[in-house]
Amino acid sequence: MASIRAIRPLIRQAPRAASRTPAIQKRFLNIENAPVIFSSHATVTGGRAQGHIEGDNIKLDLGMPKALGGDGAKANPEELFAAGYGSCFQSAMGIASQQVGVKLPSDTDYSIETTVHLIGSMKEVDLGLRVEMKVKAKGVSKADLEKVIAKTKEICPYSRATKGNVVTNVEAVVS
């Protein structure tokens, strides 16, 4: 009986404390068995040095960048990743802006420059990626653009896939 009297004040306070705590919305996507919305396919032969890609809507030759001893005349995997990540991020920004209540300029008045860095040691074959993005926009405040970017990092499939594996720095640039 004494133990019930001891916790009774805590029980009375619990509903009030819970109502003061803001609800945190979590996403519970089970990536192992979530329904497929869309699939893309590509076949690569020859790797990065003298490779060739064929996909549903792409035919592309690969080559080594100058920094790795190639002539730099053909696309490389990091360039393709930069294009994919940047375009996915910009599409997700449209959704994120609606969720946070910020009106973005038209698609032609904002752009994303994405740079993918191959990092690490070639000698030890200990390699990774680091990404830098510059989101450039006209007609929106830097604070609002940063709010959209923060939300976009939560919902962009590339951002979610690389979280914890690839450092991605996103800079908001307004003009």
pLDDT of the residue at 21: 45
CA nearest neighbour of 50 among 73, 16, 17, 79: 73
Higher pLDDT, 18 or 52: 52
pLDDT of the residue at 28: 72
> How confident is the model over 45-78, as pLDDT tens digits?
999 999 999 999 999 999 999 999 999 999 999 9
Q: At 24, is the pLDDT very low, low, confident or very high (cuts 50, 70, 90)? A: very low
CA nearest neighbour of 131 among 97, 165, 156: 165
pLDDT of the residue at 7: 53
pLDDT for 81 beyond 80: yes
**Residue whose entry in the numeric block shows the structure tokens 């830098």:** 132
Q: At 101, is the pLDDT very low, low, confident or very high (cuts 50, 70, 90)? A: very high
> How confident is the model over 103-156, as pLDDT tens digits?
998 877 899 999 999 999 999 999 999 999 999 999 999 999 999 999 999 999
Parse the chain into domains and list their residue ranges. 40-75, 76-175
Q: At 5, is the pLDDT very low, low, confident or very high (cuts 50, 70, 90)? A: low
| 106 torsion bin: left (phi>0), alpha (psi -120 to 50), beta (else) | beta
d(CA 63, CA 73): 7
d(CA 134, CA 146): 11
Which CATH fold topology does 76-175 show? Answer: GMP Synthetase; Chain A, domain 3 (3.30.300)
d(CA 102, CA 141): 10
pLDDT of the residue at 12: 53
pLDDT of the residue at 107: 73
